[in-house]
Structure 1
Amino acid sequence: MGRNRRPSKQMLRLLEALAAHPQQWRHGYDLMKETGLLSGTLYPLLMRMTDQGLVDAEWRAPEQLGRPARHAYRLTAAGVAFAQSAVPDPPLPTPRTALA
């Protein structure tokens, strides 16, 4: 039997950051800087959310030669729906406008 607990404040902070741009792949280091979460909190949380089907994770090729591959994360459709219900007022993605 699963428990219906309220998400932790750390999970809410991460959901808010990911929900700001739900289709964008994000690296853990960038999420650490944005949320203020430490790696010992962030990465286990991302792994748990991946196991729950809320987050997609994939290896990304390095952007610079000689750098290691990195994991990237983004919300799944279920994650977006969960974020909308869990985060009080998740930020809506802002459309990009061309400068004239």
Structure 2
Amino acid sequence: MAVRMTSSVLKVVAALLADPAAEQYGLQLMQATGLPSGTLYPILVRLERAGWLRSRWEDVDPTAEGRPSRRYYQLTADGVADARREVTTMQQQMARATGIPGFST
């Protein structure tokens, strides 16, 4: 499924691509991207619906941990490939638009 690439989606994808094998939870992604939760979580839902991400709830006792359970997000194999392709496409478009060879965001 196609994902519309906005600057906010690119930030999320870039944060996830920094370590594609890692699971990251929302607060980590908010800190990495600078996006507020009201922007981040709808993007994560869209990426998961598109098959780019899988998510799971942490299996902990919130009382014992002293915090709510975390939902972890990780790129799927298809998500890694699709995300890299989209980032490359956006970099190429920016290079053409700016006239700077090899321009990357």
Relative to the length of structure 2, the TM-score reads 0.74
Q: How many residues align?
A: 87
Q: What's the % identity of the aligned pairs?
A: 40
Query: For the aligned residues, what is the CA RMSD?
Result: 2.1
Q: Which has more helix, going by share of residues?
A: 2
Question: Which structure has the higher relative contact order (CA within 8 Å, separation 6+)?
Answer: 1
Q: Residue 83 of structure 1 aligns with which residue?
A: 83
1:66 Cα deviation after fit = 3.1
In structure 1, C-alpha distance between the alignment counterparts of 2:43 and 2:78, rounded to whole Å: 16
Listed as ranges, the gaps of 5+ residues in structure 2 are: 92-105
1:6 Cα deviation after fit = 4.9
Q: Which of these two proteins has the greater Rg computed from alpha carbons?
A: 2
The residue identity in structure 1 corresponding to 2:53 is V
Corresponding residue SS for 2:65: coil
Range with greater deviation from structure 2 (5-14 or 15-24): 5-14
Matches within 5 A, 1:1-100: 6-62=4-60, 65-88=65-88
Listed as ranges, the gaps of 5+ residues in structure 1 are: 90-100
How has the CA–CA distance of structure 1 residues 67 and 51 changed in structure 2, closer, same or farther, with 3 Å as cutoff? same
Relative to the length of structure 1, the TM-score reads 0.77
**Runs (4+) of structure 1 moved beyond 6 Å?**
none
Corresponding residue SS for 1:72: strand
